[in-house]
Every structure is written in structure tokens, then in C-alpha cells.
């Protein structure tokens, strides 16, 4: 092996998987953006961003860069350079200390899903917040009991929004310790999955959440249900994150999963007569907000959101 070949092998840290039109593959003078994470087989960010770039006549392309090493990815952002970087799992938390700044909302959420490169300085944001707010724009949250299922990065953004809207947070997560971490930061009550099928183990479960004399959770005590877990995502489309018995016609049910758009949870909620909210709204708006942060221009309108959603539906 030559010295030159040896150097090539040492520096090959990042797996680039660009679409056919990407300048990462063939050059061409376009500004480079990317979505980073590991793995990236589930990501629809290029399908969201690139059509919008064409619509707005932005000379840019967004391509996937898959790598489990977040430090290598940040080095790639700086060296290429990448102007807008969408950040997905598992890097939303681990990327934060590697950036030059993180805005106040992202700090409170505890996760970054967007990095904007401004003259070599990397600034972190969380546009999931804007997406969640848009999805819940017609849902009353103040003084309502909101059951948040999950405690990962997306759940942090949901909890932040619900607290801002003065809703009452109820947490349900398989690992209760993670839900308790959310509780410390955003307030609320941690419930147990055992509460959904058997009398609660803790006397602290509020009476208004109990079903008659059984002590089990009552759907009448839950106004909004939000699934912030991947349960129900393709290919496991028959899975549901909560028992069907917790659904009721007076509720609003929001599933952050957008592939499939009509999840099993939403189908069951519709059957009960509940208001349903697809994760596609959130995904579309968080992506458009990323473009706003990059360009400095306001582009989010109802008509553009619907156009983006229709484009995405063709790819799901």
C-alpha cells in the first residue's frame, strides 16, 4: 500500500449517501446542506427540502450523511462547509456541546435538530418546537390534561410546548426514570404503564384520572394524547403505544409518527370519534422553519405547508 493510499483510508470517516443530483457526488456549484444521523434510512428530509429549494429558486441541495460519530459529522459541517444541517437521532443531544452557540429554546428543550453555519460559526436551534406548535394550533391546551407518551428527544420538545401553553403534563414511558427527568424540568405527573391496566402503585395518581373504583386511568381524565415514541412507525405499523381503552371521543390525539401518515393509533382514535392530528404537519413545518433560519426569510404559509405535505405523501 502506498503512503497516499494509507492516508485515504485514515481519513474515510464519513459515509456519504447523496441522491443522484447531489454536488456531494458530482460538484456543480450548489450550496451544500445535509441531514445527519445514524442510520438515515428513515429520513425524509431530502424529500422535504429539495423540492422547496427548487420552488424558492435556492441554488442548494440537501443530502444525507450517515455516521454514528457526531464529532466526525461536526468536522464535516465545518470543512465542506455545510450551510444548513438537519440533525436527527441519535445526535440531537450529543451535538450540543460541539456547537459555537445554542439558542435559548433549544437549551430548554435539551436538543438541537438544526445547525446553521454562519461565517464558520455553528449555531444550534430546535425547530421541532415550531412544528409541534403548528400541529396543535387548533387544540386547546391551557388547563387541559395532556398525556405525553415517550421521554426521548421529541418528547422534550413536546413537554416544552405544553408547559409554554400552560397545559397539565402527564408522562407515560416504559422507563419511568426518563419520564421523571422530564418531570424535573417541565413539571407534571409521572404515571406508570401499570396504571393503565391495574390499580396505580402510587397513591399520588390524581383522583380525576382514575376510573371509578378500580383505580385505573380513566380516558375521561385525559384531554389530549401525544405519542412521541416511534411505536407504530413503518414497518411495525400494527403497534400502538397505549391501550385502546385510554381513547375517548372528547380527546385530541396527536401522533408524531408520520410514516405511515395514518398510524394504528390514529385509526383507533378516529374510530372512537376523537380529533386526530398527523405527524406530517409537524414534520413539514419543522423543515420549513429550518429553511427560514438559513435564509432569514419568512416562508411558512398554510398553502406552502399543504404543498409540502402533498409532496411528502407521494414518497411515503
* Residues taking part in catalysis: 92
Q: Could you tell me which of 237, 238, 235, 265 has the C-alpha nearest to residue 149?
A: 265
**Cβ neighbours for 79, distance < 8 A, ≥ 6 positions apart:** none
Q: Where are the alpha helices (DSSP H) in 209-275?
A: 264-272
CB-based contact 18:25 (threshold 8 Å): yes
Q: Could you tell me which of 106, 36, 98, 108 has the C-alpha nearest to residue 67?
A: 36
From the CA atom positions of the chain, what is the Rg in Å? 21
Dihedral class, residue 110 (left if φ above 0, else alpha if ψ from -120 to 50, else beta): left
The Cα–Cα gap between 1 and 3 comes to 7
- What count of residues does the chain have? 316
In order of 111, 136, 165, 244, 259, the CA distances from 133 in angstroms are: 16, 5, 9, 26, 20
Amino acid at each position: 500500500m502506498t503512503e497516499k493510499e494509507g492516508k485515504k483510508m485514515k481519513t474515510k470517516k464519513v459515509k456519504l449517501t447523496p441522491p443522484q443530483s447531489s454536488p456531494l457526488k458530482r460538484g456543480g456549484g450548489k450550496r451544500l446542506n445535509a441531514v445527519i444521523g445514524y442510520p438515515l434510512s428513515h429520513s425524509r428530509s431530502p424529500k422535504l427540502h429539495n423540492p422547496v429549494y427548487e420552488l424558492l429558486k435556492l441554488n442548494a441541495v440537501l443530502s444525507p450523511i450517515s455516521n454514528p460519530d457526531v464529532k466526525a459529522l461536526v468536522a464535516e459541517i465545518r470543512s465542506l462547509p455545510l450551510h444548513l444541517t438537519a440533525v436527527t437521532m441519535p445526535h440531537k443531544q450529543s451535538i450540543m456541546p460541539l456547537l459555537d452557540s445554542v439558542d435559548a429554546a433549544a437549551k430548554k428543550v435539551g436538543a438541537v435538530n438544526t445547525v446553521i453555519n454562519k461565517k464558520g460559526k455553528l449555531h444550534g436551534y430546535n425547530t421541532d418546537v415550531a412544528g409541534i406548535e403548528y400541529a396543535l394550533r387548533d387544540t386547546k391546551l391551557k388547563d387541559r390534561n395532556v398525556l405525553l407518551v415517550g421521554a426521548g428527544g421529541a418528547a422534550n420538545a413536546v413537554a416544552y410546548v405544553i408547559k409554554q401553553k400552560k397545559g397539565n403534563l402527564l408522562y407515560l414511558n416504559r422507563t419511568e426514570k426518563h419520564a421523571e427527568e422530564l418531570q424535573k424540568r417541565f413539571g407534571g405527573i409521572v404515571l406508570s404503564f401499570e396504571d393503565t391496566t391495574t390499580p396505580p402503585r402510587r397513591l399520588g395518581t390524581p383522583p380525576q384520572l382514575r376510573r371509578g373504583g378500580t383505580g385505573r386511568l380513566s380516558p375521561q381524565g385525559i384531554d389530549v394524547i401525544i405519542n412521541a415514541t416511534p411505536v407504530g412507525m413503518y414497518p411495525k405499523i400494527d403497534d400502538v403505544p397505549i391501550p385502546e381503552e385510554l381513547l375517548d371521543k372528547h380527546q385530541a390525539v396527536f401522533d408524531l409518527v408520520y410514516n405511515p401518515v395514518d398510524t394504528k393509533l390514529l385509526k383507533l382514535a378516529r374510530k372512537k370519534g376523537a380529533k386526530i392530528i398527523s405527524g406530517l404537519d409537524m414534520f413539514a413545518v419543522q423543515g420549513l422553519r429550518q429553511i427560514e433560519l438559513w435564509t432569514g426569510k419568512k416562508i411558512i404559509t398554510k398553502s406552502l405547508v399543504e404543498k409540502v405535505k402533498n409532496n411528502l405523501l407521494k414518497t411515503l
